[in-house]
Amino acid sequence: MEYVRLLPVKQWVQQTISPYAWDRAVIRSLSRARAMGFPLASLLNPAPQNVVPFSILQAILSSLREMYGIELPQDVLTKATLQ
Amino acid sequence: MRVEVATLFQVHSRRGSVVLGGEPHVVHCHYYNHFLQTSLEDADELYPVEEVLVGTAQEIGHSLFRRLFAELGVRDIGQRKALVESVYSTCGFGKVELAGLNSEGGLLATPYEHYAYTYAATFPPRPPHKRGVAYFSQGYLAGAIEAIYDLPLGSIGSRQIACLTKGDPEVRWEFFRLNHLLPLSPSVGEGRHEEAELYQPSFTRVPMAQIRDAVLRLPLAPDSETGLIEAFGVVLTRLPGNYYSLISERHFRRMLEVVGPEIAPVVLDMLVESGHVCAFNTLGGVMQSAEWDAVVRPYLDRPEDWIYGISAILPALGWGIVQISVPSTPALWRPSLKNWYESTAIRALSQPALDHSPFACGLFSGIMALIYAARLYEQRVTLDGTLYRNLFQEGRRYEGIFLESRLAGGATDVVEVKAK
């Protein structure tokens, strides 16, 4: 399973859209994340080295796409996938 | 029997409320309506938000029309339907024709429904797997149908089957009789209301009562074709305030139950943000309107007077009375709220989850940000996303907290807004 870091994505979302956009996307993805053992705090305030399965990031990106019509830039995605 | 619905609203000056069919009605704009609704919708995978959004509206629609039919002595089914249609458009919800419905329900369609029409005009299209956005009308009309046919609350089920936000040419709902009752409760009506005079501060020549009364006389009339109210650069509704209050309270409670106490700051922050959205779009529009220039602006000598002027308007919107007994400054404002609609509604519930009105925190800090940070008193501003981000997202300029709250056992509501 591929893992990614959420912090670069969160920072980009907060700067580009709004602080609430991240919270909203997390709430929308929370059900799936909790089922995979990732609690709310690890998504809301991810530490620099904390990683989550790629499917959780996909759920968050899907929410952002639906809410704001915005796609994550490739360079931010690259930052998130660098271990 | 033809009734002019606008004349049925009862203004309670000492409560800062405007009541129809026992329900206090409050004015809000489509930006606020959508922000609050989507904040709840975000949690749809955590709990069935439709239960809250539709169920609350159904409770209110049922209570309101039962009371209104009784007050006016309307027994004829056709006359009841006509009254519901008239109330629906007078309040800016859009246009509906109920002729095809019977006591078993039926189909209802309209190209004009406030939430759907304004969402389709403002936001990206909804994805196919999402339902339509007309939750409020769905529940409100289900409750109205129950009242029209003297059915018990919760006996009509409903679903939205088409929406402008999904590319359909109209909004369509289906209503049907259930063989069981939905677990709904009658509306709290005027709640645990309180009374007070609108205080006239001695430190300003802004005539508080005169401005309130002038705003109460504004027609805020719907367009005859669409049933939508366009004013101040936004689309307004005159919606039962209990709807906003109870969906906020019920959402907060459900989120605490499903996720746990760690979700509280996130939900509360969204409700605070709804107050920013409201201040920015509705009150920002009001403070730059021709009506403001005509009625209020002649009395505005200093920036602080803008605070008093906009506060005088709030009772006319049905939100309650804002008392200002100590002069505000650019750094601090401490209004007392009398019969604040959110507190009054939630206080009527036993053991509410909310212990203050987060909407008020956002609203009053939003007013301060508009006046002092955007310097509305000396310039016209464009109320766009850039200014919004500048005032509320790249570091909030002001923060509001409750010093005393009726929802926490206090005698009154006192908000303190401070510059950060």
Summarize pLDDT for B260-298 with one digit per residue, the tens: 999 999 999 999 999 999 999 999 999 999 999 999 999
Provide mean pLDDT across the span B126-139: 94
Return the percent helix, strand and coil in chain B, to nearest 5.
45, 15, 40
| Nearest CB partner across the interface for A40, out of B44, B262, B270 | B262
B301: CB partners within 8 A, 6+ apart: B204, B205
Helix or strand run (H / E) with residue B399: strand B398-404
Calculate the average pLDDT of chain B. 96
Summarize pLDDT for A28-74 with one digit per residue, the tens: 999 999 999 999 999 999 999 889 999 999 999 999 988 888 889 99
The reported pLDDT for the residue numbered B330 is 96
Nearest-CA distance A19 → chain B (Å): 7
pLDDT band per the 50, 70, 90 thresholds, residue B219: confident
The reported pLDDT for the residue numbered B118 is 97
| A contact test, residue of B393, B394, B396 with most A CBs within 10 A | B393
B9: CB partners within 8 A, 6+ apart: B18, B19, B20, B25
**Distance from the first to the final alpha carbon of chain B:** 57
Summarize pLDDT for B55-102 with one digit per residue, the tens: 999 999 999 999 999 999 999 999 999 999 999 999 999 999 999 999
Distance of CA A82 to the CA centre of its chain: 15
Helix, strand or coil for residue B407?
helix
Put simply, whether B128 touches A (Cβ < 8 Å) is: no
Pairwise CB contact (< 8 Å): B127 & A44 = no
The reported pLDDT for the residue numbered B16 is 97
Asked if pLDDT for residue A1 goes beyond 80, the answer is no
Asked if pLDDT for residue A5 goes beyond 80, the answer is yes
Pairwise CB contact (< 8 Å): A30 & B269 = no
pLDDT band per the 50, 70, 90 thresholds, residue B7: very high
The reported pLDDT for the residue numbered B389 is 85
Hey, what are A48's tokens?
Answer: 């620099």
Concatenate the DSSP letters of all residues of B114-166 into one string: HHHHHHHHHSPPPPTTSPPS-HHHHHHHHHHHHHHTTPPTT-EEEEEEE-GGG
Summarize pLDDT for B389-418 with one digit per residue, the tens: 888 876 778 999 999 999 999 999 999 999
Give φ, ψ of A12 to 5 degrees: -65, -45
Asked if pLDDT for residue B316 goes beyond 80, the answer is yes
Summarize pLDDT for B346-388 with one digit per residue, the tens: 999 999 999 999 999 999 999 999 999 999 999 999 999 889 8
Q: Which among B376, B246, B315 has a CA at the least distance from the CA of B26?
A: B315
Considering only alpha carbons, which residue of chain A is nearest residue B44? A28
CA distance B93 to A63: 28
pLDDT band per the 50, 70, 90 thresholds, residue A17: confident
Put simply, whether A40 touches B (Cβ < 8 Å) is: yes
Chain A hits for B260, CB-CB cut-off 8 Å, are 40
The reported pLDDT for the residue numbered B1 is 64
pLDDT band per the 50, 70, 90 thresholds, residue A83: low
Hey, what are A38's tokens?
Answer: 């990732």
Put simply, whether B270 touches A (Cβ < 8 Å) is: yes
Pairwise CB contact (< 8 Å): B266 & A27 = yes
Put simply, whether A70 touches B (Cβ < 8 Å) is: no
| Nearest CB partner across the interface for A40, out of B44, B45, B259 | B259
Hey, what are B133's tokens?
Answer: 């956005």
Put simply, whether B39 touches A (Cβ < 8 Å) is: yes
- 3 state SS for B322-391: EECCCCCCCCEECCEEECCHHHHHHHCCCCCCCCCCHHHHHHHHHHHHHHHHCCCCCCCCCCCHHHHHHH
Angstrom CA distances, B295 to A28, A56, B206, stand at 45, 54, 10
